[in-house]
């Protein structure tokens, strides 16, 4: 397997099997980055929503008279 670097970002792979694996894992890495971003975005929003609703229920008080 020989890898030649030409230019700033271009790579020329002489082994086609390695080329296939490179693009396969590169796609998985990109999906992981997007999923990581989605998870990191959803967790704070979910926690904030839970705390806001808990605070609103606490502020409303006991309405049933128990």
With b meaning 16 or more CB within 10 Å and e meaning fewer, what string describes 29-58?
eeeeeeeeeeeeeeeeeeeeeeeeeeeeee
> Is pTM beyond 0.75 here?
no
Decide if 10 is inside a domain: yes
> Range of 31's domain?
3-60
Q: Tens digits of per-residue pLDDT, 37-64? A: 888 899 999 999 999 999 999 998 877 7
Does residue 65 form part of some domain? no
- CA gap 56, 58 in Å, rounded: 5
Total count of domains within the chain? 1
1 has a pLDDT exceeding 90:
no
In a domain, 66, yes or no: no
Predicted local confidence at residue 66, as pLDDT? 64
Residue 39 falls inside a structural domain = yes
């Amino acid at each position: 397997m020989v890898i030649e670097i030409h230019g700033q970002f271009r790579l020329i792979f002489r082994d086609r099997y390695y080329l296939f694996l490179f693009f396969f894992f590169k796609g998985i890495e990109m999906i992981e980055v997007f999923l990581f971003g989605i998870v990191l975005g959803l967790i704070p929003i979910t926690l904030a929503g839970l705390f806001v609703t808990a605070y609103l229920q606490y502020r409303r008080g006991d309405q049933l008279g128990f």
